[in-house]
Chain A
Amino acid sequence: GDSVTQMEGPVTLSEEAFLTINCTYTATGYPSLFWYVQYPGEGLQLLLKATKADDKGSNKGFEATYRKETTSFHLEKGSVQVSDSAVYFCALSVVGGKLIFGQGTELSVKP
């Protein structure tokens, strides 16, 4: 069935470091791909999305490219800030509009 696999956390970085959070997926058809962010005690916020192969989603300095050949949607940011500390979820949409989430990757950025 459809699934999403993310790299395990927690990921701990110093401020201004480069961030990569790996995400791979298994799906039938051509799903849309999403990254959501969850700050402590809150719900999820959409960070970025890509709807077809080779699309690049970007927002707030974060980027991810929909790679059909490697079934990946890795999240990157060139210089992280303390305020980026959160849990990041990769997700894909399936028939019916439901989202299938990865297990989440906790990011902790130290000053």
Chain B
Amino acid sequence: GAVVSQHPSRVICKSGTSVKIECRSLDFQATTMFWYRQFPKKSLMLMATSNEGSKATYEQGVEKDKFLINHASLTLSTLTVTSAHPEDSSFYICSARAGGSQNSPLHFGNGTRLTVT
């Protein structure tokens, strides 16, 4: 089946530093990937839609200069949290669509637990 690999699974960083999270589709090409943020015991909040070869589309209220998204190839999208602060601590999950139809199911990575100290 379609596999999405997310790395790292956990990261701890100091306040003010930047952290990069990778999302790879291992056995399929993903024109579109999505980045979500999940707060403890809360739902997933869509942050942005990442399109290969073009700029990401950010949801309202998400700072694009803080959460840099790059989708350089059909199998890799990266999320960089710049100048991280403790309030950025969260669970970040990426997903990718295996089929061309908008109704094709999304496949999710296992998430990245970011802790900013």
Contacts and interface: CB of A to CB of B under 8 A. Distances in A.
A99 B43 contact: no
Contacts of B103: 32, 51, 93, 97
Main secondary structure of the interface of B (DSSP, over half): strand
A48 B49 CA distance: 23
Interface residues of B, number: 24
B107 A103 contact: no
A102 B93 CA distance: 16
Nearest to B32: A97
Given A34-B105, A49-B105, A93-B103, 7 more contacts: A44-B95, A45-B108, A46-B105, A46-B106, A46-B107, A89-B43, A95-B102
Interface of B: 4, 6, 32, 34, 41-44, 46, 49, 93, 95, 97, 102-111, 113
